[in-house]
Homo-oligomer: A and B are copies of this chain.
């Protein structure tokens, strides 16, 4: 087993803190509920809190807020605050965000091949 792949295991067990999580950390991130939806939503131009909330109509404020923070923390989106009343904030994908979106598209394609037959 390669070191690269082992590292993710070690991280999760806090056995070898020097090693970075990377893959598992990324998977934990993108598998959080609504995470990919918010990402795709911003990619398609819904660039404000309310616009995203309306588009993903069942998402809660709490979760949307959290997911936006995470996306920003990992530098997948930028957050631009305008000094206006009422408040105005705009979100946009970064290059890394675009790259992740592309990767998720591949995953999506694969999943469409893998999953459907199980539900038939």
Tell which of A20, A44, A99 has the most Cβ of chain B within 10 Å.
A20
Tell me if B55 and A115 are in contact (CB < 8 A): no
- Whether A8 sits at the interface, judged by CB under 8 Å, is yes
Question: In the complex, which residues of chain B have a beta carbon less than 8 angstroms from the beta carbon of A22?
Answer: 108, 111-112, 114-116
Question: In the complex, which residues of chain B have a beta carbon less than 8 angstroms from the beta carbon of A108?
Answer: 4-5, 8, 22-23, 26
Count of identical protomers in the assembly:
2
Tell me if B5 and A118 are in contact (CB < 8 A): no
- State which size class the interface on A falls in: 35 or more
Tell me if B26 and A27 are in contact (CB < 8 A): no
Question: In the complex, which residues of chain B have a beta carbon less than 8 angstroms from the beta carbon of A44?
Answer: 1-2
For the complex with contacts A4-B112, A9-B37, A23-B107, 14 further pairs of A-B residues with Cβ separation under 8 Å are A1-B41, A2-B44, A8-B37, A8-B108, A12-B34, A15-B58, A22-B116, A25-B115, A26-B115, A27-B27, A27-B31, A31-B31, A96-B114, A99-B110
